[in-house]
Chain A
Amino acid sequence: DAGVIQSPRHEVTEMGQEVTLRCKPISGHNSLFWYRQTMMRGLELLIYFNNNVPIDDSGMPEDRFSAKMPNASFSTLKIQPSEPRDSAVYFCASSNRGVNTEAFFGQGTRLTVV
């Protein structure tokens, strides 16, 4: 298995622009997580899905952030409009609920908003 695949690996955008981050979880995994990592706040859980349904989005910072999971093999995290303070590394992770509790992480998307 190729693992969790995220795209793009790097994104530089101007303030006010829309940004879409993409994630392909490991095939067969039924839980998907979006995390954000910054020096100041560490790793923060933004939202997670079970069987494509959002379960807990309490970590989503503002209405500018939205996440979707239209099917079991794809998820997006969108920021509209983006701001410089959104600059961070965004990780997607997936796990197989009911089998074990380990989450497998993608390589992340480094977002820079200028």
Chain B
Amino acid sequence: QKEVEQNSGPLSVPEGAIASLNCTYSDRGSQSFFWYRQYSGKSPELIMFIYSNGDKEDGRFTAQLNKASQYVSLLIRDSQPSDSATYLCAAGGSNYKLTFGKGTLLTVNP
């Protein structure tokens, strides 16, 4: 059974701070990893994907992957109230089927 685990939170950070979201996965065969943001009542939207060990930066977002530890993280710098949402971590293999975590609820306080 493939599993993706996330801390359900809620995670609360002040505006301007760094938010750190973590995720572990059980399937060592997973090749691709994704972070989605989901606002309440809305569909998920892709923030970042990462395939290789190390860091990948895109604006205020940095994804980190450590395949040896089966660990993925997302850092959000200079957090804004508009970043408040549930963040979903997902792991996928070669068939494009993704396994999602339950999500971490992030609240950024003004």
Binding partners A and B: no
Residues of B in contact with A (beta carbons under 8 Å apart) = none
